[in-house]
């Protein structure tokens, strides 16, 4: 079983729509969680960390459910510039490395 699983999409949504991505992780000892964004042929860039209490950054909201080992990302009022691949990332404590999902591809359509 993979450490991190994501729906690869693609998600094609109109501008202004709300879209949600989900991710599950297999190791209950996982300690920190992130969403990264990756544009085509570019490096991953940190979008936001995910905290147990949930956190929001502008149009982006991240949630963590430790009991279900589940992470989500909600994007409100989608912009064309949100088109990218969104990577769910989990740090398994002590391993000092990140496990990446395969990414969910989002295309926002005018």
Partner 1 sequence: DTGVSQDPRHKITKRGQNVTFRCDPISEHNRLYWYRQTLGQGPEFLTYFQNEAQLEKSRLLSDRFSAERPKGSFSTLEIQRTEQGDSAMYLCASSPRGNQPQHFGDGTRLSIL
106 is a site residue for partner 1 (CB under 8 A)? no
62 is a site residue for partner 1 (CB under 8 A)? no
What would you measure as the largest C-alpha separation in the chain, in angstroms? 44
Q: How far is the CB of 62 from partner 1 (least distance, A)?
A: 13
Q: Which stretch binds partner 1 (CB under 8 A): 14-22, 38-46, 58-66, 68-76?
A: 38-46
4 is a site residue for partner 1 (CB under 8 A)? yes
Q: Report the candidate in 52, 62, 57, 76 with the shortest Cα–Cα distance to residue 23.
A: 62
Q: How far is the CB of 18 from partner 1 (least distance, A)?
A: 24
Q: How far is the CB of 3 from partner 1 (least distance, A)?
A: 10
66 is a site residue for partner 1 (CB under 8 A)? no
Q: Is the C-alpha dihedral spanning 93, 20, 58, 45 positive or negative?
A: positive
Residue 68 near residue 30, CB atoms below 8 Å: no
- Phi–psi pair at 87, nearest 5 degrees: -105, 125
Residue 88 near residue 68, CB atoms below 8 Å: no
55 is a site residue for partner 1 (CB under 8 A)? no
Rounded-to-integer distance, Cα 38 and Cα 35, Å: 10
The residue ranges that bind partner 1 (CB under 8 A) are 4, 8, 31-32, 34, 41-46, 49, 87, 89, 91, 93, 95-103
């Amino acid at each position: 079983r993979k450490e991190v699983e994501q729906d690869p999409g693609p998600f094609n949504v109109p501008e202004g729509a709300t879209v949600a991505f989900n991710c599950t992780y297999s190791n209950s000892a996982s300690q920190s969680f992130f969403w990264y964004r990756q544009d085509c042929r570019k490096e991953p860039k940190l979008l936001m960390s995910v905290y147990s209490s949930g956190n929001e950054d502008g149009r982006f909201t991240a949630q963590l459910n430790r009991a279900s080992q589940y992470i989500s990302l909600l994007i409100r009022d989608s912009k064309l510039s949100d088109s990218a691949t969104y990577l769910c990332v989990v740090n398994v404590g002590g391993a000092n490395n990140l496990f990446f999902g395969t990414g969910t591809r989002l295309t926002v359509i005018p």
